[in-house]
Structure 1
């Protein structure tokens, strides 16, 4: 997972309102993590802190290629932000500042 992807996930987490915890795509952290592991075979691939003490995590399965981005709120509720297919782990060197890609 690239730093850019994690940054995009963090930006998505910033847009997630506190009221999202009441929506169906949120639940207690332990329960959501168990479901990702038991139903999808996904394990945590990366983690980062976002604004307002929110934790952004990327879960993925190397076998199935499924992935899920979550945000955990300070109250312990974990919300699903995005999910998809074809997960790949990248190991890219950062580009020097000011140099075209």
Structure 2
């Protein structure tokens, strides 16, 4: 499931390039997501491209319905890849015993 959520998050990030202009120190970005948007970290993953490592995270708020896809580079700078308002929802888990796990 993590792969599906992160894959969808990355696709959404590529679809909204205007959000990519928002970057800052990771601590400042996280504080803003938690306090201003009431978002909490849901999933994340480490990626490596040509030796440069970064962490991609999905932050969401059940209260506000917002979500943010955040990428943090190894230098500690985080950038917003995508945002959404009043549209975040979690996919329900499939019933046990159905299908093959990925």
Name the TM-score, length of structure 2 as normaliser. Answer: 0.71
The answer as to 2:74 corresponding to 1:62 is no
- Residues 56 and 69 in structure 1, CA contact (< 8 A), matched pair in contact too: yes
- 1:60 & 1:49 partners in 2: Cα distance? 19
- Residues 36 and 43 in structure 1, CA contact (< 8 A), matched pair in contact too: yes
- Report the equivalent of 1:88: 89
Larger helix proportion of the pair: 1
Deviation at 1:75, TM superposition (A): 0.1
Unaligned runs of 5+ in 2: 14-19
Q: Deviations over 1:56-75 (max 9, x none)?
A: 00001010100000100000
- 2:55 & 2:12 partners in 1: Cα distance? 12
Deviation at 1:87, TM superposition (A): 1.1
Q: What is the RMSD computed on CA atoms of the aligned residues?
A: 2.8
- 2:72 & 2:61 partners in 1: Cα distance? 20
Q: May I ask how many residue pairs the two structures share in their alignment?
A: 89
Name the TM-score, length of structure 1 as normaliser. Answer: 0.72
Q: Deviations over 1:2-26 (max 9, x none)?
A: 522302445788xxxxxxxxx8510
